[in-house]
Amino acid sequence: MDAQKKMNVAVLASGRGSNLQALLDAEKRGELPCAHIALVISDNPEAKALQRAQAAGVEAVFVDPTPFKKRRAEYDGEILKVLRSHHIEFLVLAGFMRILSDVLLNAYPNKIINIHPALLPAFPGLHGQRQALEYGAKVSGCTVHFVDAGVDTGPIILQAVVPVMDDDTEDTLSARILQYEHRTFPKALDLISRGLVRVEGRRVFIEEDPEQK
C-alpha cells in the first residue's frame, strides 16, 4: 500500500512501553502494512515508552499533566492539539494510566483502542492479573477493546486466553499474559487499519481477509 494511504496512529503510554515496542516491531517487520505509528505521547516524562519511540525514530512528546489537576478535559485538549498537529487518525492506549474525557472520545469515535490484561468483562480496572489470581480463575488472558467513557467497558475486538497455573504469582501470570498481549495488540491494529473490523453496537465482527482466501 502507498505510504500516504496508511492510517496515521498515535500511541499513548505512561510507563514501560513493552506493548508500544511490540507495535513498533510489528510495523518494522511489515506486519502493519496499512498503519503507521507516527507519534508517541506520554503523561510521564520518565516513561520508557518515550525512549523506545525515540530509538525507533518516532516522534515522542511528553504532555505535562501537572497544570491540569482535576481538569481532565483541559488536559485532553492539550493532547488533542498535539494529535491534530501530527494529523493523527487513530489512537492506541498502551498502558496509558488515565481515563479519557469526552474531548478525546468525541474527536476519535470508535477510533481508540486499549489493551487490558484480563478477559473482560472479568477483572476490569487496575491489577487485572492479581484480581484473576485472587479470584481463583483457571484461565485469564488479554482483551483488546474499543475505548468508551467507562473503565474497560468498550466493545471487545480480540481476546486471547491464557492458563492460570497453580504455582503462579502475580509476576509469573503477568509475564505469561504479556506475551499474548504483544501478539494480540498488533493483530487488532492490523485488522482495523485494513478495514476488516465492523462494529454493531457492542458486537465487533472481523471480516474475512481477502488476502487469505
115 near ligand GRF, judged by CB under 6 A: yes
- Residue nearer to ligand GRF on the CB measure, 115 or 194: 115
17 near ligand GRF, judged by CB under 6 A: yes
- By C-alpha distance, which of 149, 139, 141 is closest to 185? 141
What is the C-alpha separation between 45 and 51, in angstroms, rounded? 10
Q: How far is the CB of 50 from ligand GRF (least distance, A)?
A: 11
- By C-alpha distance, which of 147, 38, 44, 53 is closest to 85? 38
Q: How far is the CB of 140 from ligand GRF (least distance, A)?
A: 11
124 near ligand GRF, judged by CB under 6 A: no
What is the C-alpha separation between 118 and 144, in angstroms, rounded? 10
Residues 26-85 that bind ligand GRF (CB under 6 A): none
Query: Is position 127 annotated as part of the catalytic site?
Result: no
Count of C-beta atoms within a 10 Å radius of residue 135: 12
**Backbone dihedral angles phi then psi of residue 11, each to the nearest 5 degrees:** -110, 130
In the list 9, 11, 18, 173, the residue contacting ligand GRF (rule: CB under 6 A) is: 18
Q: How far is the CB of 157 from ligand GRF (least distance, A)?
A: 14
**Backbone dihedral angles phi then psi of residue 188, each to the nearest 5 degrees:** -65, -45
Q: How far is the CB of 187 from ligand GRF (least distance, A)?
A: 14
The residue sitting closest to ligand GRF, measured at its beta carbon, is: 95
- The cell numbers describing 64, all together, are 505535562
186 near ligand GRF, judged by CB under 6 A: no
Amino acid, single-letter form, for residue 188: A
- Residue nearer to ligand GRF on the CB measure, 43 or 194: 43
- By C-alpha distance, which of 31, 15, 3 is closest to 185? 31
95 near ligand GRF, judged by CB under 6 A: yes
16 near ligand GRF, judged by CB under 6 A: yes
| Residues 6+ away with beta carbon under 8 Å from 166 | none
Residues at the site binding ligand GRF, with contacts judged by CB under 6 A: 13, 15-19, 94-95, 115-117, 178, 181
